[in-house]
Structures are given as structure tokens and as C-alpha cells.
Chain A
Amino acid sequence: MSELPGDLQYTSDHEWLRREDDGSVTIGITDHAQAALGDLVYVELPEVNQEVEAGSDMAVVESVKAASDVYAPIGGTVVAVNDALSDDPEAINNDPYGDGWIVRLEPSGDEGELLSPDAYQALLDDIES
């Protein structure tokens, strides 16, 4: 059973996003995603100021057994990336919703398909059953 904070939104590709007070949006991968990937060894981050569309790939997380794209849940401009992941990619394993955040976007209004915690939980139940 993976952890699922109630104040976040989710995608069917196992990203989460948090609406910050300043209007920006923080994005990471879910507890379920990090557990499925296993120990992460590398994270490829986008450049700050890079523009992304909803659904486009913007980062790569690599574990000892797989490499997986991280898709932008919504469109926007990259305003910050979690540089600490370069030295400590396992922060995603240890704290996927906190220190393991990946990218912060300034939303462009291009909203992708987002899931509520309940809808994402239903998706996970589906996968796990």
C-alpha cells in the first residue's frame, strides 16, 4: 500500500503535482512509481526556462533496472529544478512527495488530464488487483 497525500493531484503516468501559494506547480513521481522503479541511480532534469506542453516528456528517472520518462502533467515554463537529485537521486525513493520533488513549473494554462487522490487510488487498486 503506497502513500497518497490528499492535497495533491495525480496523473495516470504516476506523476503528482502540488499547487503552490505563488501560483507555481511542483511536480514529482508518486510513491507507487518510485517503488516500481526500485533504487534510483540517475535523474535527467530539464533546463530552467524550458517550455513544456502537457503530456510531453521533461525528465528521465533511471533505476538499476529501468529508465522511465517523466511527463509534464500540465504545460508551462520550468522555473526551478531539484539540482540536489544529481548527487542524491535516492531522495525520490526516500521522500517522493518532499525532498524528491523534480520540477517546478509556471503554468501556461495548458491543463492536462489530472486525477483526484481518490481517482488515482482507484487506478492503483486496478493495477494491484
Chain B
Amino acid sequence: MPFIPHTDDDTREMLEAIGAKSIDELFDEIPPELKIDSLDGIPEAMSEMEITRLMRDRAARDGAAQCFIGAGAYEHHIPQAVWDIATRGEYYSAYTPYQAEASQGTLQTIYEYQSMITELTGLDVSNASLYDGASGLAEAALMAVRSNRKAKSRDVLLAPGVNPTYCKVATAIAGSQGLAFDYLPMDAATGNLDFGALDDSAEPVAVVIQQPTFLGTLEDVDRLTDWAHARGAFVIAVANPTSLAVLKAPGHWGEQGADIACGDGQPLGVPLSSGGPYFGYMTCKQQHVRQMPGRIIGRTTDLEGKPGFTLTLQAREQHIRRSKATSNICTNQGLMVTAATIYMSLLGSDGLAAVARQSASNTAKLVAGLTSIDGVERLFGGPAFHEVALKFDRPVAPVLEALAARGILGGYDLGVDFPDLGDALLVCATETKTGADIDAYVEAMREIFSAASA
């Protein structure tokens, strides 16, 4: 179907038919003080040639720095085949197709994606994806409110290791619907939840547990899951999918398992690309599926008895349920999901576990090297996955600047979100880093520390 915009004649005819003088007149009822003529900080339009030049210059400024930053988005090796296949014309769309008669290939791809994500998270059903991990948490919290009908409150409690950006985004999306997001207390020695400070009289609708935590540590997810269920709360797991190749799946946390799992799918074959596009995943127990947002692809048989794929449980969605739909999500990050499906298929469970182990091992090597420097130590004891918080004897920002001047993006400055932790840096070395890369980072840091203290 071609897309043909209205011509000036079409527009004039339509305005005449309804007796309006201009398009602006149709918006007369909006008070003038609510209208704006220009957007602050948005530059004038540029030609295609100018914008290409600008973007090329900006890309060149990124240079070819070695990236040791994690904090929610992770650089992993992406096999060449992933995007070669994902960008074929047949797949090249952001849409979740709804026409079963025309889209069997894409529908099956999403079905396979759902199967893999449910296996990784140990839960029963998956949707076809959400925008990203942070909005995924907002959707999961809203879903918990709909599904946990015994709960009296709309309070969502967050383990201290939940990504602070996720909390901000969830509050922005769900706060106006009466949901409150509050952090549980952190044990300063471990970086994890302070179980001793838990309030047993709390009646939250849901408890969110991130594993591994934002600070790279491993939370006692079984104990916290059981505590939440004993309070009548749902458990929402936030997990890095790569880590699930080696860590316990959320569906098996505690005695009953998490009710909903969500997170960012970016580590599964999606490049960092200056922050997006990424995609969010979401899975849940079977009994909550009718409250799940987004599209779900099901396997069925056609009239001739052959297997086929189609959208299912659509009565949750806005084209049927209107204002009472579970969410306004319908089309989302289909292309990223296609890439993730190909990535997971190429790696297999053994390959994904190898990525997870190599990343954890590289980070351990990096941390061993960095903590051999006077003035750098680990912030928390205990096990970590592929990210570790370090404590400095000096401000972090100048050190990161000096590293950047040497082509190294040294990590994430925790002072922004966790001022109480003092001068602290979160570092991550995935499987993309060689022994030489790690040595080069450690040597650069050693020089910066000795130059400054000399």
C-alpha cells in the first residue's frame, strides 16, 4: 500500500467540507499559553548533506577508545552474521507484524525469541519485547498492580542494586498512576540489601530485585524473594540476560520464583551505538499472562493441520480493549529482537555461558591489576559478575579525563548516583578485551596515580 500524503488541494477540500478556514483553526480550543513557537535547544533544520557531515564529524570525535564502561549497557562481540541477516529486506522493520498470512517468517522469529528468553529467565511466557529495560520495569510494576489484586498499596520497593536510571524512568512513567518507587536500605559493607533493616510491616505490591546489582555485586535473591512473597508482594526480577547463562534464573529464585522478569536485551547482539536503540524483554508466570503488556506470538495449526504462527491473547491490547488495555505498547523494537534471536541462535547456551565466564574473568583480571595500585581498592567484598565498584583515594572525574586522553573510557563515575559511596568508579571488562588491553588500562591508571601523587 503506497503512502500518499494529502496534497494542498486535498487539504483545502477537506477544510471546505467541514467549514474550517485553516488547519490552525482546528486547534483553536488549545489556549495560546499552552502553545509554543519554538523548542529551546533544537537547532534549525539542516540539509541532508550538512547533517551527514555533522554526524561524520561527531563519529570521528568518538575515536576508537577502549571501553571499560558497563552500568547497564555492555560491549560484546557481535558475530558478523547477526546484522547481515537482521538487515535483510525481509526482516528490516521495527514492527511486530499482525498479518499471519503475510508474515510467517517474522512471526516465527519472534516465537523463537520468546522461547529462548523464557528458557533464560526460567519463566513460562514472554512478550515480543518492549522499548528498553527501564521502561520494561515501569511496565512490570504496572502489571504487578493489575495482577496482584490482593495487595492494598501501590508501593513498589526496590532492592538497593536496582539501576537508578530504571527507578527514574519507572517513576516518570508510572508515578502519575499512583505508583511510588522506594529503595530498600543498602548494607555499606556489601553493597547489597541490609536485611537487618527490613521493615517486616511493609505491604508493597511488588519488590524489584536486580541481579547482578547495578554495583556489580550478587544479591541474596532467594532470601529477598521469599521475604517479598511472605508480604504478599510480587517479585519483579531485573536481570542482565548474558548473566543468566551462568546465574540462577529468576523463575527459580526462592521457594516460588520471581513472578515477572524484565531487563535490557542490549547485551544480546545489539551494539552500544551511543545509547540506543536497544530493546526490553519481559517474561512472567503463566497465571499472569493476561495482564502482560505487549504482543505475544503463539504457535498454532492452520486449517490443513500445518504448524503456523500468529498473534495471540490480543484481547489485552489497545485495538480491542481500548482505554483498558494493559499497555499502549504494540509496535516496538522488532529489529533488535530479530538481531538478538540470531545472536542467541549462533552462540547457543554454551556460547552465551562462555561470553559470561570470559567477561567475569576479564573483569577479575582488571580489578586485580587496578587494586595493585596504591589508592585503588575494591569498594565491596563478596562475589561479582562482570562489573566491580572501586574506591579511589582521590576524585574520580580527573582520573577519567586523564584516561580518556589516552584513549581509554575507564568506567562509570558512581558519584553521580551514589554520592554516599564517596570517590567510586564502576569498571567492566567484557570478553572483547584482551590481556594486552587490560594491561594497558592498568598501566595507564598506574601512571596517572603516580604522576598526580608525585
Contacts and interface: CB of A to CB of B under 8 A. Distances in A.
B324 A69 contact: yes
Contact of A67 (B149, B150, B315): B315
A84 interface: no
A44 interface: yes
Contacts of B321: 67
Ranked nearest first, the 4 interchain pairs of A and B with the lowest CB-CB distance are: A67-B315, A62-B315, A67-B321, A47-B149
Interface in A47-68: 47, 62-63, 66-67
B446 interface: no
A42 interface: yes
B290 interface: yes
Contacts of A67: 315-316, 320-321, 324
Given A42-B290, A44-B290, A66 B315 contact: yes
Given A63-B315, A67-B315, A67-B321, 13 more contacts: A42-B290, A42-B315, A44-B290, A47-B149, A47-B150, A62-B290, A62-B315, A66-B315, A66-B320, A67-B316, A67-B320, A67-B324, A69-B324
A44 B313 CA distance: 14
5 contacts: A44-B290, A47-B150, A67-B315, A67-B320, A67-B324
A63 B321 CA distance: 12
A42 B291 CA distance: 12
Contacts of A66: 315, 320
A42 B320 CA distance: 15
Contacts of A69: 324
Nearest to A60: B324
Nearest to A41: B315
Contacts of A47: 149-150
A63 B316 CA distance: 11
Contacts of A42: 290, 315
A67 B319 CA distance: 11
Chain B: interface size category = under 10
Interface in B282-330: 290, 315-316, 320-321, 324
A44 B287 CA distance: 12
Contacts of A62: 290, 315
B38 to A, nearest CB: 44
Nearest to B150: A47
A67 B315 CA distance: 6
Interface string B98-125: 0000000000000000000000000000
Nearest to A61: B315
Nearest to A46: B149
Contacts of B290: 42, 44, 62
B397 to A, nearest CB: 53
A47 B232 CA distance: 15
B263 to A, nearest CB: 28
Contacts of A63: 315
Nearest to A44: B290
Contacts of B316: 67
A69 B321 CA distance: 10
B152 to A, nearest CB: 11
Interface string B381-392: 000000000000
B126 to A, nearest CB: 19
A45 to B, nearest CB: 10
Nearest to B315: A67
A124 to B, nearest CB: 24
Most chain B beta carbons < 10 A, residue from A44, A47, A62, A66: A62
Q: Which of A42, A44, A67 has most B Cβ within 10 Å?
A: A67
A66 B315 CA distance: 6
Nearest to A50: B149
Contacts of B324: 67, 69
Contacts of A44: 290
Interface in A23-82: 42, 44, 47, 62-63, 66-67, 69
B303 to A, nearest CB: 16
A44 B233 CA distance: 20
A97 B250 CA distance: 44
Nearest to B316: A67
Interface string B143-167: 0000001100000000000000000
A62 B321 CA distance: 10
A67 B290 CA distance: 12
A42 B286 CA distance: 14
Contacts of B320: 66-67
A123 B21 CA distance: 43
B147 to A, nearest CB: 10
B144 to A, nearest CB: 16
A69 B290 CA distance: 15
B41 to A, nearest CB: 43
